[in-house]
Amino acid sequence: MITSCHTCCTKAVGKGDAIEDPAPSSRRPGPDKAAVVTLPGSHPEKHSLERSRRTERLAAMGEMAANIAHDIRNPLGCIELFANSLEAALEEQPDLRVLADRISSGVKSIDAIITNLLLFIRPGDATRFECFDIYAVLDDALFFMEHLANRENSIDVSVEYTHRPLFIEGDLELMKQVCLNIILNAVQSMPDGGRLCIKTSRQAESRGNTPAWMELRISDTGKGIAPEQLPKIFDPFYTTKARGTGLGLSIVHTIVEKHGGYVDVESDLGRGTGFCIHLPLCSRQEENRYAAGATEAMEREAFA
């Protein structure tokens, strides 16, 4: 279960002891040192060629995967329909009904994989983006984390919010998927318990038309990732899990890039992993317009 969870600026969370950021800080990999990788899309001015090649590969894979997903879902719907009918017909035969239920469960698992695949291919339409506070996403993610940790293991959670609010322009549900995917990986990497640290920060205002940026850091004290595996973790279908699809972190990369941001990750094998998500913030004008709209909506609801 979660033993501690607070919002603070510099105060750590735990049983009275200071909790430092569990992710390693070294940026010079070597024997027993932290390995660091920055995604090809992280700094366009330095990695434009790699980013272009990666985009072309993913586009080709996406078109093929979309066709496959469509062809699979048609017969899958029929299987689910027949399995449900069979399950209802076997009301008085529990032994056989269990088998029908297993068929339905298998269909749902396949459908979930297809859903993740389509999310990776089509992460959302930018025309539906709106300005929202990133803390709305984090609050939901932490609520999910609390129930997950209660079932899985004992995890201490340190939450350090250094600036409120932080408005970004994007899709709230997609950003929630980003946070949940990373948090789920962190929980799974700590089967015997550990510490999860979530930090936010805001870069200083930039001059001119360049927007300010926010940084969201999610780190754990789990098993860590081997240096030779680290550059591959965002590749689609790459996984080290027995039952993994290899799409979770690919979806993270695709969604963050769709929002104009980038992801850095560093890991120290045996000590933990840290993901750092960088996202552009809304302009002051957009923030004020959003805040005014939210206030009007609350007033209308209060007088309704």
Is residue 63 assigned to a domain? no
When pLDDT is cut at 50, 70 and 90, the band that residue 69 belongs to is confident
Cβ count within 10 A of residue 121: 20
Q: Does any domain span residue 68?
A: no
- Determine the pLDDT at residue 280: 93
Q: Is residue 165 part of a domain?
A: yes
Domain of 212, CATH number, reads 3.30.565.10
DSSP state of 286: H
| Residue 289 pLDDT > 80 | no
Say if 114 falls within a structural domain. no
Cis geometry, peptide bond prior to residue 44 (ω within 30 degrees of 0)? no
Domain that holds residue 175: 7-41+128-288
The structure tokens listed for 237 are 């279908």
The answer to whether residue 272 is domain-embedded is: yes
Element holding 90 (H helix, E strand):
none
11 assigned to some structural domain: yes
Q: Which residues contact 120 (CB under 8 A, 6 or more apart)?
A: 62, 65, 236, 247, 250, 251, 254
pLDDT higher than threshold 60 for residue 36: no
Token output for 233: 């973790």
What is the C-alpha separation between 124 and 133, in angstroms, rounded?
Answer: 18
Model confidence at 271, in pLDDT bands (50, 70, 90)?
very high
Using a pLDDT cut of 70, give the percent of the chain over it.
64
Assigned domain for 92 exists: no
> Is the pLDDT assigned to residue 5 strictly greater than 50?
no
Q: Are 214 and 281 in contact (CB under 8 A)?
A: yes
- Give helix 134-152 / helix 172-188 axis angle, nearest 10°: 30
Total domains in the chain come to 1
Q: Give pLDDT tens digits for 85-117.
A: 998 899 889 888 888 888 988 888 788 777 766
Mean pLDDT of 259-271: 91
Q: Residues, the chain, total?
A: 304
pLDDT of 178 above 50: yes
Kindly state whether residue 101 falls inside one of the protein's structural domains.
no
Q: Which two tokens stand for residue 44?
A: 């366009």
